[in-house]
Structure 1
């Protein structure tokens, strides 16, 4: 029979893998029962060990998830930062790049608009890339099609105007409503509507969705800040702190 001269040490060693796995398999039923009792008694006397173990596990999982995000960003770098079609704002020559995957019908995307604007205004050296990622139904898809078509037909400045207007729009995005929006901004509504279902618009949406799938993005807004993924809404102050850390590390 195996004797347990130092119960706590032996139990923890076995639990943490510091002892040979064969020590467990070599135990008789009586030995296993004694071991279980020792473990139980130790944990009852030292319950903080459980919390320490849980915290350590959560920290390891968070670190693993963060590293997985870094690896995914690196593997898809060009598609994220240099796709050749996504709208680029802020400071195009900025030393930090912020990419946003957004949906016009997403409440948190709308909430993020002033936060991103404040970040860009206060920093002045951030490059912003917007990825059209409609996932909340047909109205979202129609809005993104309209925005992309506007950029193709009328250029990036017109896109920026339409983007902001769609973020504030209430109600359905019918062709009549979108036409009035374009006309109100002095744009060629007919040309934009005709472009909405073009192969170029279809391909851009397809590529954005494929990229989001590779990055395991399932919700909006999702940001990519340099090599880090920020999943969900963040206030400007928090994003600014992360930007500062990136500059310090870089």
Structure 2
């Protein structure tokens, strides 16, 4: 057997066996040097082996990460899907729940808003939950407090209308601009502003932030669709595929 074929055999065997079954420590210094040289020669002659190995490693890591995320979703299911402080829309009796962590100053959240809107319109069997998760700026926090306060003061329908307006909003989010928005939606701005800094509103934002920390969510948008956790934006077709996977 040639040196290269020996190295190929050894490398293949080493990758195939459990770590404990291939013990370099049992080799003599001369055997280690010869083996290392043979493996190096083989890889220099066949670099595609490294590409294949890296691709396989990435596949395994991605599969493990997806499985780990499913465990996170299962462990935190009550707080993800049934937290009383969140707004729930779509089909309240839908066969699958989509949860989104949002920040009103996040450009990708605004882009994802269009995706979610299309998905909910084309699939009438999805329950949709919004989790206020302001992380980008002081304006993010102000807008989130405003939205939660609207829900607590004026109810779910008012929250939905304000949420839609905030997702379309492109200017600075200030007390003045938010007060105008409340007035336009026939909501008493003074009541909402008085509510914004109360413990009831803070508790909602705190609970969502703690949940995000437990789940390793550090950015927006982030989605939980059924049992899958998606960290980031996904186009419409990809979202439909995820939903189909969860149903299938």
Q: Could you tell which deviates more after superposition, 35-44 or 218-227?
A: 35-44
Q: 1:178/1:50 Cα in 2 relative to 1: closer, same or farther (>3 Å)? A: same
- The 3-state SS of whatever aligns with 2:92 is coil
Distance 1:55 1:62 in 2: 10
Match of 2:123 in 1: 123
Match of 1:185 in 2: 185
Distance 1:247 1:60 in 2: 24
TM-score, scaled to structure 2: 0.93
- The 3-state SS of whatever aligns with 2:97 is strand
Deviation at 1:16, TM superposition (A): 4.7
Measured on the aligned residues, the alpha-carbon RMSD in Å equals: 1.8
Q: 1:4/1:48 Cα in 2 relative to 1: closer, same or farther (>3 Å)? A: closer
Q: Could you tell which deviates more after superposition, 231-240 or 65-74?
A: 231-240
Matching of residue 235 in structure 1 with residue 235 in structure 2: yes
Cα deviation per residue 1:177-221 (whole Å; 9 max; x = unaligned)? 111111111111110110001110010110000000011000000
Q: Could you tell which deviates more after superposition, 40-49 or 149-158?
A: 40-49
Contact 2:105 2:140 in 1 (8 A): yes
- The 3-state SS of whatever aligns with 1:104 is coil
Distance 1:11 1:166 in 2: 58
**Stretches of structure 1 lacking an aligned partner (at least 5 in a row):** none
* Pairing 1:30-49 to 2, within 5 Å after superposition: 30-49=30-49
Q: 1:180/1:43 Cα in 2 relative to 1: closer, same or farther (>3 Å)? A: same
Match of 1:218 in 2: 218
Contact 1:86 1:129 in 2 (8 A): yes
Match of 1:173 in 2: 173
Match of 1:65 in 2: 65
Q: 1:242/1:11 Cα in 2 relative to 1: closer, same or farther (>3 Å)? A: closer
Cα deviation per residue 1:59-110 (whole Å; 9 max; x = unaligned)? 1100111011000000000000011121001111100100000000000000
Distance 1:143 1:212 in 2: 19
Contact 1:11 1:38 in 2 (8 A): no
Distance 1:34 1:188 in 2: 81
Match of 1:111 in 2: 111
* Pairing 1:138-149 to 2, within 5 Å after superposition: 138-149=138-149
**Stretches of structure 2 lacking an aligned partner (at least 5 in a row):** none
Contact 2:4 2:41 in 1 (8 A): no
Deviation at 1:42, TM superposition (A): 1.7
Match of 2:9 in 1: 9
Distance 1:107 1:5 in 2: 54
- The 3-state SS of whatever aligns with 2:84 is coil
Contact 1:132 1:205 in 2 (8 A): yes
Distance 1:11 1:157 in 2: 63
